[in-house]
Amino acid sequence: MCLFIRLFKVVIWPFCVCWSKTRIVRSEIAGNRRCAAFFIQLGFSCLVSISLSAQYEAVLHKPYNEKLAWIDSTYRKVTGIRNQKQARQIAREIAAFGKNNNDRELELEGELLEAYYLYSTDPKKGEAVVGLLKDIARKGKEARKISIEARAVKVLSDFYWNDLKDYETGFEFLLQVDQLLESTTAREFPNSTRYYYDIGEAHYFFKDYEAAARYLKKALQFPADSFNWTSVWAATNTLGLYFQKQNRLDSSDYYFEKALLSPFVKPGQIYHSIIQGNLGYNHYLRNNFDQALPLIKADYDKAIEVGDWGLAAGAAIPIADIYLQKRRFNEAFDWIKSARKLVAASGQDHRLTLLYPVIRKWHQQMGNLQLAESYLDSTLTAKEAENNKFNALLLLRAQQRVDHLKILGEREKVVLSEKLRKTQLVALLATFLCIAGGAYALFRHQRRRYREKQKLHRELLQHTADALRDARTQLVNLAADIAEKNRLIEELENTGAPVPLETLTALRESVILTDEDWISFQKAFETGNPGYLYRLKEKVPGITPAEIRLLTLSKLHLSHKEMASALGVSSQSTRVTWHRLRKKLNLPEDIGLEDFAAGI
């Protein structure tokens, strides 16, 4: 082929040009210019045809994995073209070349390239692109070309997930991708690694961590190469974060170190600094502050360098806490200010749930107990706002699921109606038998569903009773534990014998309920006292979080001193809070805190 091209350029093409020029001269004399123009156009068409043949000949009838580099390069080149007509023309040339040479996969590759170009560049993409991609996926399935079908379905998933925020439909297409990946291998279809990672990330987005971990581990079944290494790195890093959330720090370290050892990750890259920061955060969680600090600072510096304010904020918060615990208060305050600015710049308000507790501890160390208490309220408010966002996201997905099922149901009704009409035309008797059989099957199905529903209802009642009993036991144990520790503190203080200050301090701090303890306590309290918090907020409009905590602890029959110990404040503070609440509600002096809490 190369020899033929050279022969054409050196001999045939000059001959055509010279001959055509001669024809032009003669045609001018004869008054017939059309003949000369025809020969020039014919020669040019031959050159273009041979040029295209040479360009696409190398990938003709080749399996997907052998032409992956060419496909990747072609997609990057075409999607970078601003002229839509020119870009689509290239895609159609590829499809035409594949069709003319009986290469169905290359033909569909051209069609998929055109659809992907429209998806990537057309701001008005919508049902037209969806229709093109569905049609290409169908053709790929019919031709048994998984590389075409799977990639078309994946683009559909990206469109619904990223552009329309229709998560339920996006999940449906991801499920189709997952099923297609089961019938191929990473060697045949190198995109498997990226697709398994994307499926895992989709589950991680909705905090379905167990399912996410399964798919992320599938992504790691395949060795990293120049095509998929970023997906392998990202899956490894996310698995490290998953085990970090589970507080399985040794397993988390294993995956972070594995990501750090990737031959494609070099020091100075953002990938390298992110892993350093994650390893540093594990040291921070273990209270190994000297090991944590340089790693997290390196992550912070790189994030500032590349302008990733969210990543920088995530690093600044533990650094501030480390300096606070090292009692280097001025440096801690500087990092707190930096973290606040970075959170605001990034717009990632969820990081406030980690920042506010650090600010609260700083004010406690400075003796600003009132400000410390206000930041405890801010922490609870931030966590509640974050939970509300996630609940709204779950509600959106649930509504999408309902709408999706409704559409499917309407489609099924149309199909059934059409089948019924055709069946009636064939034989009324057959229709009657089908209806009778369907009615009987429906009756059996409804009866089975009713029995299953009754069984589930009984199991739910038993589960609710067990949860109520466990929650009340947990609350009783908590109250007893607080009372016992307070009694022990009093005994140590009243013995007259010298007691190490560290012992008393540790004992007092063990009584204080942390932010995590409060969240667990509130869940257990609401389970053990169903509707109590709702009735309390109805009876006392505008009640503050501090007043809620006071009343819920009083409900456990704790004394002012025991409640103060659990809240980390003075007994006088709890009395002041009760006095304000009583004044707000105009309660008589003879009504005690415990009586009021019990009467809600």
Is the four-CA dihedral 438, 443, 446, 451 of positive or negative sign?
negative
Closest by Cα among 139, 185, 131 to 155:
131
The region of weakest confidence among 232-236, 486-490, 499-503 is 499-503
The whole-number pLDDT of residue 569 equals: 81
Alpha-carbon separation of residue 224 from 61, 230, 233 (angstroms): 27, 8, 8
Query: Which tens digits make up the pLDDT trace of 240-277?
Result: 999 999 999 999 999 999 999 999 999 999 999 999 99
- Tokens, residue 291: 């090991």
The region of weakest confidence among 371-380, 449-458, 497-506 is 497-506
The whole-number pLDDT of residue 5 equals: 41
3-class DSSP string for 478-536: HHHHHHHHHHHHHHHHHCCCCCCHHHHHHHHHHHCCCHHHHHHHHHHHHHHCCCHHHHH
The whole-number pLDDT of residue 44 equals: 36
407 pLDDT more than 70: no
* Higher-scoring residue by pLDDT: 28, 250: 250
The whole-number pLDDT of residue 434 equals: 79
- Residues 600, 536: contact at Cβ < 8 Å? yes
The region of weakest confidence among 81-85, 162-166, 394-398, 457-461 is 394-398
The whole-number pLDDT of residue 51 equals: 47
Q: How far is CA 399 from the centre of its chain?
A: 19
| pTM of the shown model | 0.58
**For the chain, what is the mean pLDDT?**
80
Cα 300 to Cα 403: distance, rounded to the nearest angstrom? 44
Query: Which tens digits make up the pLDDT trace of 328-370?
Result: 999 999 999 999 999 999 988 888 888 989 988 888 888 888 8
DSSP assignment, residue 66? G
The whole-number pLDDT of residue 415 equals: 60
The region of weakest confidence among 22-31, 203-212, 215-224, 567-576 is 22-31
Query: Which tens digits make up the pLDDT trace of 370-396?
Result: 877 877 666 667 666 666 655 655 555
521 pLDDT more than 70: yes
Cα 135 to Cα 114: distance, rounded to the nearest angstrom? 13
Task: Give residue 46's pLDDT band: very low, low, confident or very high (50, 70, 90).
Answer: very low
Cα 325 to Cα 328: distance, rounded to the nearest angstrom? 8
- Tokens, residue 176: 């189709």
Mean pLDDT of 293-315: 94
Mean pLDDT of 107-123: 90
Closest by Cα among 344, 346, 350, 296 to 320:
296
The region of weakest confidence among 299-308, 370-379, 546-555 is 370-379
